[in-house]
Structures are given as structure tokens and as C-alpha cells.
Structure 1
Amino acid sequence: MSARLITLQACLLTALCYVAFWNGLGHLDITDLDEGLYAAAARDMALTGDWITPRVNGAPFFEKPPLLYWLSSSSIRWLGPTEAAVRTPTALAASVLVFMTWLVGIRYLDRRAGFLSAAFLALSPISAGSGRLVTTDMLLTLTLSAGILLLFAARNARGSRAILASAAVGFLCGLAVLAKGAPGIMIPAGVVGIWTLLRRRRGIGAPSIVRNPALAGLALMVFLATMLPWHLAAWRANGRSFTEEYVLRQHIGRFKGGDVSHHAPPYFFIPGFIAGFFPWSLFTAAALCSRRGASQMANESGGASEPAENPTVELRSLLRTWFWVVFLVFSASGSKLISYILPLYPPAALLAGDWATAAQASVRGRRILITGGFIAATLLALTLGLFSWPDPLIRIIERYANRPIEAPPLDAAILHTVQILAATAAGGVLSFCVSMSLRRAAIAWTSLLAGMAMFLMIAVHRGIPLIDHETVGSLHRLAAAAGARAGDEASVAFLVGPPRRPSALFYLPDDLLKERRVTERARALIATVPAGRSSPRTRDLWVVAPKRAASILRQAGAVCTVRESDYELWVLRAIPPSKPSSDRRSHREEGTTS
């Protein structure tokens, strides 16, 4: 592979990463619920310097381990408390993951397969979304993917190379645990264990790191040295509350389905993967369903068969194992979100790129590619129909979420944007089909990748501002206004939810957060005020509330100062405790004397 081609592919992938992860990174306000919690925890950590106990508005927060908070809080300290700054670590992790996929592809598969695999990963909707949000899934995916692929690369290593690889694998798995807890070690262990058994069935020995007890012990020691210190420190600092929240509720409880808001049927990840990795998911499905390897499909035009010990064959076996372990483990879990299966996206991308590159070289393969393109266009039409008539989907979600879903009618501008996005993606898909039928593979892939890149550009510059305006924009503006008016003395309260809106905390001044003059329990405070009367308050209280709470605040003596589309800003002025007059005090004294 020439240096010129490597440079060209690297430049193209850099451009795709910019479009997918970096372009307009700060255009969208911090979202709720998960990103709002993680961004608030990172902001609190940057303010307090407490690297052991993550906190949200002063309360310990052990939903996830601290790696994301460490990185995002450091980014806030360097770049300031902005949306782009707090999201920089996940965008960087996504970019590194794309280039790592590319390097593995060109090393073990094919130069075209490596480039397509990396491009597929960058331009998939869930990859782009996860790389733009402050969530733990992208860091988990990067660290465990690096650990699995490094173990594969060093499967036959000896001497100092094997020692370094063992230590690095242990370190990466330790980071994966610090990114999202138990999945960081369960997934690599399951993937490598099953893949090792498959290798032995083919008469191939276990990888050196697994086979050699000394190397396995070294990897285990480095793993424990990486992940254990924080867990011990957090347990010592917080005791039983850490164990109950982090271990019992967030790990065991979530897997058993304790988080009822994330309930979903066992088949949830089938449409979830098709949509989240669209349109490349169709190529992955073809690769998984094909009884012949991609190389064998390519060999219809005269290539030689590959030996079973070939690294390419071993990589394909690892990728298939990796895909199914992640898919089945999370399908068995009681708690499901579409981003949970992000760790299977790197193997899905490599399988898709490998299969698609080989398929274009045969008549049968091109027919499958064209058929997949028309299926993709049909799915786009169905998606547009769901946005136009969402009621059936909402009923299904309500059934498994066990709670009502509020879905107001779509604004005309949003529906128009969805139509533009669907038309853009469909145009790229149909152009791909036409070009592939004419055997213009280069034009076909260029049109499809360009169509998906344009899809993301439109989503960032047209769709995100609309979503921001319709969801959290007015809440955040009023939170910032409340923080500015609170100054050095007053407090801020949020009469919002359920659901909770922790993203608003990110838009408050530093001093207000550090001095803990913020409460998300305004309802409890206002409930103590008798109707039509004012209770004593030592400081002003600025309250951000939805319009439906106006009567409650008015009865408590609050005054509305700012009105937005969905939320309002109210103030309850400070009222010092009443003091008895001097006349009354003298009268009591006289009465006592007499």
C-alpha cells in the first residue's frame, strides 16, 4: 500500500471525523437526562477538585465510574465550561476509534475494506450521536475495543513484546471498567474466551496472553492496579451508600431490569442496530448471514482459498464472536438503550467493510448490494412515515417503559427537516444502486458516503437548532438568567419534572454551584408556604418553572419576571422574620412587673 494512498485515506477520514463528531460540537445545548447528569458531575468535579466522589449539585452520584468525569472536568478546566469543552473527550475518543478501525482493516483485511470500515463507523447515526454527547458508551467502546484488538495483534507474541502487550491489555480493560463498570471486563472476557474455544476447535492454540500463566497474571495485576484504587477510595469515602448505589442498584439492579424507564422487549436491539448503524447495518447483516467468507466470495473470480491459520480468517472469527457476545449479553439485560450496543459497532463496521469490498467484485455480490440499497430506501420511507404518524410507535414504547410518553405534534419545521434528511439519505442510496449496477464501484461508494455525510451536516446545522429550541433551550436560558440575577446572595430553585432536568445545572454560575445555593426541590420548599401568605426567607429565591406551575407560585407570593415559550422565571423575595414592636415589648414587661 503506497504512502500516497495512506495519506489520502487518512485525510478523507479526518474530514469525515470532523463532519461526524467535531462540526458544530457545541451547537446543541446539554441534553437530558443522561448527558445532563454526566455534564453536571464533570462540572462539579472541575469546581471542587474532588476526584473520588462524583457529585451532581452536591449529592454523591455513583451511576457510573469516574473516567468520563475525570476527562470532561479536565477539559472544562482547560477550555472553560462550554458544551464543546465538556464533549471534547467523547469526540476525541470517537475519532481515535475510527482511525483504530482503519488501521486494523488495512493491516488484516484490505486497503479498501479498511477505509470503508472506518468510514462506515464514522458516518453511522449512533456513532455520530455518541461522539457528540457526554456519555460513557464511546469511552467504553474505545477502551475495550483497543484491548480486544491488541490481544488479537499479539496473539502469537513472544518475549518483551508479549510482556508489553499483556500489560497494555490489562491497562485498557481497567480503563474500560473505569468508563462503565462491569461491562468493561465482562465483554472482553466473554469475547476472548469464546474466540479461544473456537480457535482450539480449529486446531489453533490459544493466544499467548491466555495460554501463558505468567502473561495472564501480569495482565490481571495491571488490570486490578488500574481499576481497583478508585473503587477502594470511593468505598472508603462513602461506605455503604457507595455499595448500595454503585454495586447493587447500578450494576445488579439494572441488569435484572430494575430501571423500569429502560424496559424494552428482547428483540429491541434488532431494529435498534438496523437504525443505529444505518445503512451499513444491511451490509453487516449480509456478512453475518453469509455462509461463505468474504474472501471466498471474491475468489469466484479466480482467487486462491485462504488457509485456516491466516490472520484474516482469525480476525473474521473474532469479529463475529465479538458482535454476537455484545448483542446477546445486552439483549438478555432487563435494561436497554439503543446506545448500549455501541461496543459491537467496530466489529460490525469491519465485517461490513470486508464483505462489501469483496461483494463488489462478483456479480452475485453486486446484486446483493443493489438489493440492500433498495431495502435501505424503503426503510427511509417507513421512517418518514413514523415521524408523520408516530402514534403506533409511541404505544409500543409506553407498553414497555411502563409510563406515559408525552409526544406533542411535530412542528412543521421539524417535519420538513425530517423530510429533507430522508430525501438526502435516499438520494445517496439510490445513486449508489445506479452506479453499482453500472459497475462504477468508486462512484457508488463516493455517492453513498457523501450522502450520509450531507445527512449529518443537515442534522447538525438544521435539525439540532430545532430540537434545541423545542426541548431545553428556554429552560437553559432561564437558568442562566436566574443565576445572573441571584448574584452573591440569592438562591436558585427548579420546579421542573418529572422527569428531572439536570442539564440546567450546567448553565449556572460557578459560585452558585460551589456554595450549594441551588435546589432541584422547589416543590417541597413552596409546599411549606401557606396559601396566600408569605413565609420568612433570609434570601431571595429565583424559581425556574414550567407555565403550568404558575398558580402554585402565585399562591406562594412569587412574582413572574420572565416568560419564555415553555418556562417562566419567578422570584420569591426575602422576608425577614417579624419582630415584636417596642410598645408590645414594654406592655409585656409592665404586665410581668405587676
Structure 2
Amino acid sequence: MPQHSDRLAAEPGPIAARAALRVDGMPALAPALVVLAFALLWFGTLGMRHLLGPDEGRYAEIAREMLGSGDWVTIRYDGLKYFEKPPFHMWMTALSYALFGIGDWQARLCVALAGAAGLGVSMLAAARWFGARAGLMAGLVLASAPMWNIAAHFNTLDMTLSGAMACVLASLLLAQHPAATPAARRRWMLACWAAMGVAVLTKGLVGVALPGLVLVLYTGVTRDLSLWRRLHAPAGIALMLLVAVPWYWLVAQRNPEFLRFFFIHEHWQRYTSTVHARTGAPWYFVPLLAGGFLPWLGLLPGMVRAVTQRAGVAHAAGIALPFQPALMAAIWALSIFVFFSLSGSKLPGYIVPMFPALGILGGVALTQSCERTWSRQLRAMLLLGAIGLLASPLVAKLDANNTPNALYRNYAIWAALACALVLASAAAALWLLRRRGRMASVTGYAFGMLLAFSIALLGHEAIGRAASGIDLVAPIARVLRPGMPLYGVGMLDHTLPFYLRHPLTMVAQADELAFGAAQEPRKWVPTVAAFADAWQHGPRAVALLSPQAFAELSARVPMHVVARDWRRVAVSNFPLAGREACRLVSDSPAIP
């Protein structure tokens, strides 16, 4: 496709965006109102749910312990060394605590900012290569893609990594634009390398391995080896190492056991074996990709055409093989999908880094599609929304994953509301298409999809509140004192320690803290017999047990119930005062 002659393609992002909206007859104030509405929904919902285990509670608690101890090098979880992941995400979360206090929204602020940053840079790259309208459309597609917006509201490393990887892709695209000056190309490539350093600090070698794989495949397909000369590799590699290496060097100096565990166990064995028990078929990510990009699946034919027709390719004097931005985005998405599909360890969040590339291609497809194509997309979503609404009562019949059916019945109402919003958003977008044009229709549709999936996520509090154990916090906090042991007997509770501001001491089963327990065996209790002795003859303590473990152990040692729910029983090894016992019983949540 020839280079865009539209002057908007060369304009700065905000000016071009305002001009693009004016073309469709929308008010000049519309961009600001759209950004405000999306921002309020994006950031305003961060604290409306309690944290879920394992990931949200784990990383929230690691950051809390990091801030409390002042040790930002040796990562600890429940007081034990924890070297499964690098520290960047936890650093940012601890900084959020330092600035705004400790809480749910502060724990999720890092991922929300990473998601927003990924949106911004993807829009900028798309606007630069494909025009301002494509940049706006790319942002709308990415913001309303369920996998992206849901990941941006879960306190896990996946979105922090994905935000950094989005910066890698966008910076590379911006640096390779033929109109970029040598100075601009150098700045963008240095930004690309720095973002790779952040990715390596977030989740290890995958932060440099995936971009390297994409680059090798791209140059293999295009035979454009000249791209390698435009990477500013010497300065860029030095910058990347400057960002990433100091922590790795410091933590290895202080903990000689780190290097083998992190690079062999957490990288090589995780990818090549099932040692982490997170297996999945080769097609594991196919339904996740379909669901994660559901509102925009109708764009796939247009996205493929954008690649095959070399969308955005600009021929410049002296360049025999022009850079192909759409092909680069496609290879980026496919490489990440295939790489993790072949891995021996699979989790849903692994493919989140591919979505910025899909958003860019989706934005291009939207600008090139006709109104009839867009209308068919909306009618398909009308049908899917109606099917989802009719099927939502099935949620009320679920009883799985050790979650009581009563909680699913509560969530069924939220699922129905989310499906109703999908239906209403598609209908409203059809109305806007006829009355206000395609830009207004796409904008309304994208916001409606974001709202619908946000409602589905917020409604999960019907299940997540009980899972988090927040209702047990008040009665436990009344008897738990600073320095008092809090035992986890055969269970690693990922959320209560964060809410209680008190780390757990593992008993009998170290779970994912096995490495740390092996390094510092004095910090855990390896057997139930040793726990029973400490419980009867040691200082005052509180313990968390499963209902089954409580039934077994309470027959052997004295245990005074502090609080309980369907998942845990909190007990003390000392009797509770009469008035306090009454208060605890009245505060303890009902078991569904």
C-alpha cells in the first residue's frame, strides 16, 4: 500500500486525533470527554474488589513486606526468600504503598498504569504509520479487548510485562518510520532497549527472548537484514544491561543460590517440562485468545488483509526493502502465541503481550473496512449478547473448584447484567452508525464493551470476597498481636496475610515457598508433630487450617475457634475472654 498522503499521518497525536474526530462531525470536545470516561472506568474501579489468590495476594504481600523491611534486593514472601520472579512489579507496588498507603487499589495501580501505557504507545505507533484515525481505532480496540482490560485490573506480573513489551514494539515501529530523523530513530531505539530492560526486570529472560525471536523471524521472512543496522545495538544493549543487571548482580552477591534456581528452575525447567504442574494442550490458548479478543473477532479478515496488502508500507529513496509495520505486528502476535503454546507451563496471562499488536492491526482493519462490514460485526455481537443473556442462568447451577453454589448464584446476576450490556452496546452502536457515523459508533461500542467486561469483573466480588477471607480479618485482628506466630497448617493462604499485615509461618507443607524454606529451615515448621509441640508449649499463636485439618487436629491439641468460613478455620492456642468470644462469634461470617 502506498504511503499515506493524508496530512494527519504526520501530525502529532493529540492534534491529529482532534482533527480526525472533526471529520466525522463530532464536537471538538469529544476526545477529552472520551478519554475522561475511559480513564474513570479504567482507574476508578481498581479498589472495588478484594484481592484474589494466589497471584494478587502474593504480589501485594511481597511488596508490603519489601516496604516494611526496607530490603529491595532480596525478595521475601511470608518472610522466606522468594526468587521465582524479578522485583520490578513489586518495586512499583511498594512505591504505590509508600505514596498512597496500603490497600487494594494501590496494589493494582501498577498494572492499571502499565495497561494505560501500553494503550498510549500502541496508539502513537499506529497513528504514525497508518494515520491518526487508525491510532484512535487501535486504542479503542485494545482498551475494550477483554484480555487486556481485565489483566490491567489484576495484580499480576503479566500486565506489567505486557506494558513494557508494548513499549518495546511501539518504540521499534516508531524508530523504523522512514520520516524519522537520525536523532529520533536513536531516541526511539534507546527507548526500545530500555523497555526490554524493564521487561527483563519484570519477568526474566522472556523480556529479551521474545523481541529477539520476533526480529529474527521478521528478517527471515522479509530478508531485510538492513534492519539490524538500524537498531543502535551497542548503545542499546549497554542501556538494557544498565537497567536490568544491577539487581541481578546484587541479589546473586547476597544469595549465591539465586542464579541456579532462577535461571535453571524458573526458566529452563518451567518452559521445557511440567515441573510447575501448569500443563495444557497445544491449543490451550485458542479459546483464551478468542474470548480475550471477542468484541473484535469480526475484524480478523481485515487484519489479515492489512498484512498481506502491506498496509502502511512507505517507499523512501535509497531503501530497497521498506519496513513493513503490519507484518511486524502480525509476527509479534503469532510468535508470542506459538512460543507459549509450545511451553510445558501454561497460564492464561502468558499471551497478554500479543494484544497490543492485535490492537494495532485491528485499528488498521477498522479504518479500511466499509460500513456494511462494521454493521455485520455489530449484528453478530447482538446475537452473542442475546445468547449470553439467555445462558446466564447456567452460572447459577455451577458448583466447582470448591466454591459453594450459593456464591455462583449471586454471581449469575452480574453475568446476566454484563451480557445485557453487551447486547445494549451493540444496539447503541448500530443506532450511532446511522445517526453519527462510524467513529461515534466504534467509540460507543468500545466503551460499552469495556463497561460490560468491567461489570463482569466487578461482579466477581460475589465470589472473590469470600475467597479473599476479608470477613475473617476483623475477628482475627482482635486476638493477633505483632510478633505473634500466625501459622498456616498445611495451607498457604495468599490473601489473609496481606489484609492482616502479618506474614504466615508455614507448617508441614511449604507449597511454593519450598525453596525459601529449604534455604532458611528455621523459619518454618516442617512437621505437624513439631507444630503440635509449639502450639501447646510455645507462645500465644493463631493458626489457619482447612476445615478438614481442623477436624483432625482439634482432637489432638486444644484449639479455640476465632473465626471460620467455607475455606478456612482460624484458631488460637489460648482461650478467649467471654466478652471477646461473643464479639468474635457475632463478627464471624456465615458459611454458605
Please tell me whether Structure 1 or Structure 2 has the larger radius of gyration of its CA atoms: 1
Cα deviation 1:77-123 (Å, max 9, x = unaligned): 22111111122121111112212222222222132221121122112
* Distance apart, 1:294 and its partner CA: 8.7
Residue 285 of structure 2: aligned partner: 269
- Given that 2:149 and 2:450 are in contact with CA atoms closer than 8 Å, whether structure 1 keeps it comes out as no
2:476 paired residue among 472, 482, 485? 482
Residue 528 of structure 1: aligned partner: 529
AA in 1 matched with 2:303: A
- Given that 2:388 and 2:416 are in contact with CA atoms closer than 8 Å, whether structure 1 keeps it comes out as no
Residue 466 of structure 1: aligned partner: 462
Residues 1:411 and 1:86: Cα distance change in structure 2 (over 3 Å): closer
- Given that 2:189 and 2:236 are in contact with CA atoms closer than 8 Å, whether structure 1 keeps it comes out as yes
Task: Provide the C-alpha distance between the structure 1 equivalents of 2:163 and 2:531, rounded to a whole number of angstroms.
Answer: 54
User: Does residue 239 of structure 1 match 2:256?
Assistant: yes
Cα deviation 1:262-305 (Å, max 9, x = unaligned): 21111122211111122124324541267754969xxxxxxxx9
Residue 67 of structure 2: aligned partner: 46
Residues 1:182 and 1:352: Cα distance change in structure 2 (over 3 Å): same
Task: Provide the C-alpha distance between the structure 1 equivalents of 2:259 and 2:547, rounded to a whole number of angstroms.
Answer: 40
Over the aligned positions, Cα root-mean-square deviation in angstroms equals 3.6
The number of residues matched between the two structures is: 534
Residue 544 of structure 1: aligned partner: 544
Residue 220 of structure 1: aligned partner: 237
* Distance apart, 1:426 and its partner CA: 2.2
Cα deviation 1:110-155 (Å, max 9, x = unaligned): 3222112112211222212221122112221222221232223223
- Given that 1:534 and 1:557 are in contact with CA atoms closer than 8 Å, whether structure 2 keeps it comes out as no
Residue 298 of structure 2: aligned partner: 282
1:335 paired residue among 335, 345, 348? 345
* Distance apart, 1:393 and its partner CA: 11
Identity within the alignment, %: 22
AA in 1 matched with 2:542: W
Task: Provide the C-alpha distance between the structure 2 equivalents of 1:72 and 1:378, rounded to a whole number of angstroms.
Answer: 41
* Distance apart, 1:503 and its partner CA: 1.9
Residue 449 of structure 1: aligned partner: 446
- Given that 2:51 and 2:464 are in contact with CA atoms closer than 8 Å, whether structure 1 keeps it comes out as no
Residue 400 of structure 1: aligned partner: none
- Given that 2:161 and 2:353 are in contact with CA atoms closer than 8 Å, whether structure 1 keeps it comes out as yes
1:315 paired residue among 304, 325, 329? 325
AA in 2 matched with 1:232: W
Task: Provide the C-alpha distance between the structure 2 equivalents of 1:288 and 1:125, rounded to a whole number of angstroms.
Answer: 21
1:72 paired residue among 78, 87, 93? 93
Task: Provide the C-alpha distance between the structure 2 equivalents of 1:530 and 1:165, rounded to a whole number of angstroms.
Answer: 57
Query: Per the alignment, in what secondary structure is the counterpart of residue 206 of structure 1?
Result: helix
2:104 paired residue among 79, 83, 87? 83
Task: Provide the C-alpha distance between the structure 2 equivalents of 1:311 and 1:441, rounded to a whole number of angstroms.
Answer: 35
Residue 580 of structure 1: aligned partner: none
Task: Provide the C-alpha distance between the structure 2 equivalents of 1:268 and 1:565, rounded to a whole number of angstroms.
Answer: 31
* Distance apart, 1:340 and its partner CA: 0.9
Residue 562 of structure 1: aligned partner: 563
* 1:6-85 aligned within 5 A: 8=29, 11-12=32-33, 14-85=35-106
> Which shifted more, 407-416 or 135-144?
407-416
User: Does residue 135 of structure 1 match 2:156?
Assistant: yes
With the length of structure 2 as denominator, give the TM-score of the two structures.
0.80
Task: Provide the C-alpha distance between the structure 1 equivalents of 2:388 and 2:320, rounded to a whole number of angstroms.
Answer: 42
AA in 2 matched with 1:487: R
Task: Provide the C-alpha distance between the structure 2 equivalents of 1:99 and 1:43, rounded to a whole number of angstroms.
Answer: 29
AA in 1 matched with 2:304: L
Task: Provide the C-alpha distance between the structure 2 equivalents of 1:356 and 1:47, rounded to a whole number of angstroms.
Answer: 49
User: Does residue 124 of structure 1 match 2:145?
Assistant: yes
With the length of structure 1 as denominator, give the TM-score of the two structures.
0.80
Residues 1:149 and 1:539: Cα distance change in structure 2 (over 3 Å): same
Task: Provide the C-alpha distance between the structure 2 equivalents of 1:40 and 1:316, rounded to a whole number of angstroms.
Answer: 41
- Given that 2:144 and 2:295 are in contact with CA atoms closer than 8 Å, whether structure 1 keeps it comes out as no
Task: Provide the C-alpha distance between the structure 2 equivalents of 1:391 and 1:418, rounded to a whole number of angstroms.
Answer: 10
* 1:400-419 aligned within 5 A: 405-406=401-402, 408-409=404-405, 411-419=408-416
User: Does residue 206 of structure 1 match 2:244?
Assistant: no
Task: Provide the C-alpha distance between the structure 2 equivalents of 1:459 and 1:49, rounded to a whole number of angstroms.
Answer: 38
Query: Per the alignment, in what secondary structure is the counterpart of residue 51 of structure 1?
Result: coil
Residue 154 of structure 1: aligned partner: 175
Query: Per the alignment, in what secondary structure is the counterpart of residue 411 of structure 1?
Result: helix
AA in 2 matched with 1:372: Q
* Distance apart, 1:449 and its partner CA: 2.2
AA in 2 matched with 1:554: S
> Which shifted more, 434-443 or 167-176?
434-443
Task: Provide the C-alpha distance between the structure 1 equivalents of 2:360 and 2:322, rounded to a whole number of angstroms.
Answer: 11
Residues 1:272 and 1:494: Cα distance change in structure 2 (over 3 Å): same
Task: Provide the C-alpha distance between the structure 2 equivalents of 1:144 and 1:528, rounded to a whole number of angstroms.
Answer: 48
Query: Per the alignment, in what secondary structure is the counterpart of residue 280 of structure 1?
Result: helix
Residue 111 of structure 1: aligned partner: 132
Residues 1:169 and 1:535: Cα distance change in structure 2 (over 3 Å): closer
Residue 423 of structure 1: aligned partner: 420
In the alignment, structure 2 segments of 5+ residues that lack a partner are 1-7, 9-14, 20-27, 510-524, 576-592
- Given that 2:336 and 2:354 are in contact with CA atoms closer than 8 Å, whether structure 1 keeps it comes out as yes
Task: Provide the C-alpha distance between the structure 1 equivalents of 2:298 and 2:397, rounded to a whole number of angstroms.
Answer: 25
Task: Provide the C-alpha distance between the structure 2 equivalents of 1:350 and 1:285, rounded to a whole number of angstroms.
Answer: 14
- Given that 1:493 and 1:543 are in contact with CA atoms closer than 8 Å, whether structure 2 keeps it comes out as yes
- Given that 1:287 and 1:294 are in contact with CA atoms closer than 8 Å, whether structure 2 keeps it comes out as no
Residue 369 of structure 1: aligned partner: 374
Task: Provide the C-alpha distance between the structure 2 equivalents of 1:185 and 1:129, rounded to a whole number of angstroms.
Answer: 25
Query: Per the alignment, in what secondary structure is the counterpart of residue 336 of structure 1?
Result: coil
Task: Provide the C-alpha distance between the structure 1 equivalents of 2:531 and 2:288, rounded to a whole number of angstroms.
Answer: 50
- Given that 2:146 and 2:450 are in contact with CA atoms closer than 8 Å, whether structure 1 keeps it comes out as no
Task: Provide the C-alpha distance between the structure 2 equivalents of 1:491 and 1:195, rounded to a whole number of angstroms.
Answer: 55
Residue 577 of structure 1: aligned partner: none
Task: Provide the C-alpha distance between the structure 2 equivalents of 1:317 and 1:534, rounded to a whole number of angstroms.
Answer: 63
Residues 1:557 and 1:17: Cα distance change in structure 2 (over 3 Å): same
Query: Per the alignment, in what secondary structure is the counterpart of residue 86 of structure 2?
Result: coil
* 1:492-503 aligned within 5 A: 492-495=486-489, 497=491, 500-503=492-495
Residues 1:4 and 1:527: Cα distance change in structure 2 (over 3 Å): closer
Residues 1:22 and 1:508: Cα distance change in structure 2 (over 3 Å): same
* Distance apart, 1:535 and its partner CA: 6.2
- Given that 1:255 and 1:333 are in contact with CA atoms closer than 8 Å, whether structure 2 keeps it comes out as yes
- Given that 1:20 and 1:128 are in contact with CA atoms closer than 8 Å, whether structure 2 keeps it comes out as no
Cα deviation 1:505-536 (Å, max 9, x = unaligned): 21123xx44xxxx31327868832899x9964
